[in-house]
Amino acid sequence: MTKTPFARAVMAALLGGALSASAFAPPALADVKDYRFELVQQEAKVGEAVIAVRLVDQRSGKPVTDAVVFAKRLDMAPDAMEEMATKVEQVPSTEPGIYRFRAKLSMQGRWRLSLAAKVQGEIGTVEDKLVLQAAK
């Protein structure tokens, strides 16, 4: 099948348009799986404690400063006592990307901190479960 010069020109224009459009396409958004919470310290003292966590963009390794943490729970599930839960209150932080929570750790053992957050500009919820050790 022989193509006319006109048909070749139309195909070239269409192909060129498709290629140039993809060159200017906005970058793909991150996935909520590209973020993770990390404990700043793995251990806390029994009693009143402030637990600090960092929210990190795993693609760049940089802290995420503008997330909204809207769900938090602290329990002893790692030591088979999930019903042993305590109140968690978010407190201000002066460090970018660090989120602080006040809680009363009533006994020694492993405590699980469950967090959920929204990251500005991302669709979905970042969820993570962190385990810290409470010691005397």
pLDDT, tens digit, 9 for 90 and up, residues 45-102: 999 999 999 999 999 999 999 899 999 999 999 999 999 999 999 999 989 999 999 9
- What residue ranges do the domains of the chain occupy? 32-134
Single out the residue of 119, 109, 102 nearest to residue 37, CA to CA. Answer: 119
Task: Write out pLDDT tens, residues 99-118.
Answer: 999 999 999 999 999 999 99
Single out the residue of 117, 4, 5 nearest to residue 64, CA to CA. Answer: 117
pTM: predicted TM-score of the whole model, two decimal places: 0.76
Rounded CA-CA distance 43/127 in Å is: 21
Superfamily of domain 32-134: Immunoglobulins (2.60.40.10)
DSSP bridge pairs for 113: 74, 130
Tokens of 61: 């390794």
Run of H or E including 45: strand 43-45
